[in-house]
Structure 1
């Protein structure tokens, strides 16, 4: 099963996603929670203390490659397997959830808001 939570800012997405992840994990499901927010807060919602959450490393974009075919269609691929990404960057959280951070803004750059 794959579940995605989306909505406008302040609508409770992180609370719903974190609660759902923990409930599913307690029900003996394997849960990989992916926080793709540039300002990630899912770790704390999953029960990881704030100090540990601040040290979680985001998956680097260097593992991706972009290509354009002869027809002008773009594609994005990964240079390592999803399993390797989870193995390297997955963080264990309470209730058996594994957290993966992607998209965290590490440093402001031109055009990054």
Structure 2
């Protein structure tokens, strides 16, 4: 059974900054397909304020932050940006659309 991938508002906002980066968008598409199949095989766990989030490398130094919800078999995409910004410069990614993640339901 495949996993459902949901894009948070924070992710969509960060994605807008990179909409012309074709290489990044192609890598993101491939990574999302892998997340749909088995999110546990993608990226690595984060710690500290970002505990519960995972990070996956895209092209060059770009990273994708995501969170796995085991109970609902969903993967929430939190942010995408350069590794120097994604962890600390997106208004604390550890709080990315937490309300949405905690309250959204499977349809």
Greater Cα radius of gyration, structure 1 or 2: 1
Greater share of residues in helix: 2
TM-score (norm 2): 0.28
Higher RCO (C-alpha under 8 Å, 6+ residues apart)? 1
TM-score, normalisation: structure 1: 0.27
Which is richer in strand? 2
